[in-house]
Amino acid sequence: LMTSKYGGKSFQEVCSLLFVVAMQCFIGAAFARISCATGVQPITGWQHPQDFKGFTNKLWPMYMQVGFCYVLAMLLSNSALFFINYPTQVIVKSCKMIPVMAVSVLVRGKAYPIAAYVRVAMVTFGIMCFTFFKKAAKSTKAGRQNSIFGLSLALGSLMMDGFVGPTQEEIFSHFHASTHQMMYYTNMWALLLLSAVMLLTGDGARAVGFVVKNPAVLSKILQFGLMSATGQFFIFFLVRSFSALTLVTVTTTRKFFTVLASVFWFKHSLTLGQWLSVAFVFSGLAWEETSKYIAKQRRRSEQVAPIAAPNTMTVPEEVDGVEGTSELVRDPPLPPHGSEDAPRTDGTQLAPGADTIQGSLSTRPPALDNGEAPTAP
């Protein structure tokens, strides 16, 4: 999309990445809106006109924060790569779990056990070491010097990433928004910010002019937008079903698993340091999954209620000012009317040896003197 020649020039030679990202957001928003129409969506997940009258406990500022931080993290990360060297790029791409956890704790007030911090450090350190131990010949950009501006962009990208996931998690838990609603509003707010920037910089006019002259580029833009929208759906679904930390763990380790799969598929060789890094990452992930399984089993065992004895129920009672409980035996079902075991209603006693009815009198009222049946109250 960016490097193919159209009329002797490529897309990246005419305009920046803003227009492509804006089209990606537009297609993603359209995809999500159509998906919302296919099923019933939670009413609490929609923005309403009256909600724009304030910020406190409102849904729209949270959607706006997610959309703005989402697109700013993407743009800052891509821009920072032009001003920092390769090892610094590795650190930036491997440390996304740290700001997500930091924002969840410091801003959202979420609590993590000490073991969770250790597992995040293990996975982050392992991925960094795995990349650092690559052969120096493959690191063509290692000689580039870092600049304060590039480091600032990288730090800003990490901060934006830290706010996206925890805010989405809070929207899902408090407002019960659906995956399609989250995807729709995230892309709409991001598109609003990108449109304003393109209008001020003139990048949007240049991009539209290039597309008008070369309509063949629209097919690549459409393909890019649809693939991005499909990926976004699974990303938002992962946050809604699990947590922001789970999402960033998946996105951080996906490249690691891709490289590791290519090692076995193409029979590449790894250094001792890389194998140790692999063991470090897998140990952290295995620890994470084991702890989740144990916690899940513990919750299940706590939710199992004790089975009460049949025909009994516990009722509170008070004896000599001391509260307690006692078991009340329920009456067995009455035999059918007209049977030999049916209770007598004429005032006579039961025959000797006949079964007794515990704890109740006959539920059938006696007949009236005039022979009429009693009326129901």
Q: What is the DSSP string of 82-112?
A: TTS-HHHHHHHHH-THHHHHHHHHHTS----
> What is the three-class DSSP state of 331?
coil
Buried b (16+ CB within 10 A) or exposed e, 152-176: ebbebbbbbbbbbbbbbbbbbeebe
pLDDT at 305 over 90: no
pLDDT at 25: 92
pLDDT at 194 over 90: yes
Instruction: Summarize the confidence of residues 29-41 as an average pLDDT.
Output: 90
pLDDT at 129 over 70: yes
Average pLDDT score over the chain: 75
pLDDT at 90: 65
pLDDT at 181: 92
Instruction: Summarize the confidence of residues 8-25 as an average pLDDT.
Output: 83
Q: How far apart are CA 296 and CA 281, in angstroms?
A: 23
H helices present in the chain, as ranges: 11-14, 18-37, 60-80, 86-94, 97-106, 114-132, 148-175, 179-201, 203-213, 217-241, 244-265, 272-303
Q: How confident is the model at residue 363 (pLDDT cuts 50, 70, 90)?
A: very low
Lowest mean pLDDT among 33-37, 72-76, 89-93, 312-316: 312-316
Instruction: Summarize the confidence of residues 194-208 as an average pLDDT.
Output: 90
Q: How confident is the model at residue 186 (pLDDT cuts 50, 70, 90)?
A: very high
Q: How far apart are CA 173 and CA 185, in angstroms?
A: 16
Q: Which long-range contacts (CB under 8 A, 24 or more apart) does 223-231 make?
A: 224/1, 224/20, 224/23, 224/24, 225/23, 225/24, 225/26, 225/27, 225/28, 226/27, 226/31, 228/24, 228/27, 228/28, 229/24, 229/27, 229/28, 229/31, 229/32, 229/183
Maximum average pLDDT range among 150-164, 176-190, 339-353 = 176-190
**Phi/psi class of residue 353: alpha, beta or left (left: φ > 0; alpha: ψ in -120 to 50)?**
left
Q: How confident is the model at residue 184 (pLDDT cuts 50, 70, 90)?
A: very high
CB 288, CB 313: distance < 8 Å: no
Q: What percent of the chain has pLDDT over 70?
A: 72
For 107, the token pair is 């801003």
